[in-house]
Amino acid sequence: MTDPRESAEHPAPLGWTKGISAITLFVEELPAAKTFYQEVFGLAVYFEDEVSAVFNFDGTLINLLSTSAAPELINPAQVASQAAGSRAQLTLDVEDVNATCAELARRGVELLNGPMNRPWGIRTASFKDPGGHIWEVAGPNS
């Protein structure tokens, strides 16, 4: 039986994945990043050791890993410096982008952009964490 999601442009899923379970973000200053995630997202540390702090975002683990430990994980690939620029954005679905941005501001977060209505039908705003990773909040247009 053919998967109904399959087409010439979109082949069937591989079937071996159950979704994204964890995302590892490399950080230069682990204590600052850990504090940011605790204070801004209001999350408790799920797991930590001397080189990492893990937070559970509703079933997806965000692992903040010290750049000093990253080479062991990704060798022979290289760890890029924060100064190299952003190469990814992580998006959180929220009910009210404006209210979320107001709460982020109360928690000391400076927005990079937004809130703004996007042509593809959502409202977004972006900010970055101490490691330079870009986060976006997204919800219905207002």
- Return the pLDDT at 86: 86
Query: Last residue of some domain: 79, 99, 123?
Result: 79
pLDDT in tens, 64-105: 999 999 999 899 999 998 888 888 899 999 999 999 999 999
Are residue 59 and residue 99 in the same domain, yes or no? no
In a domain, 92, yes or no: yes
In a domain, 61, yes or no: yes
The number of domains in the chain is 2
CATH number at residue 85: 3.10.180.10
Q: Which domain holds residue 41?
A: 20-79
Are residue 37 and residue 75 in the same domain, yes or no? yes
- Return the pLDDT at 1: 44
In a domain, 1, yes or no: no
Are residue 33 and residue 57 in the same domain, yes or no? yes
The structure's pTM equals 0.81
In a domain, 14, yes or no: no
HEC-encoded secondary structure of 2-69: CCCCCCCCCCCCCCCCCCCCEEEEEECCHHHHHHHHHHHHCCCCCEEECCEEEEEECCEEEEEEECCC
In a domain, 2, yes or no: no
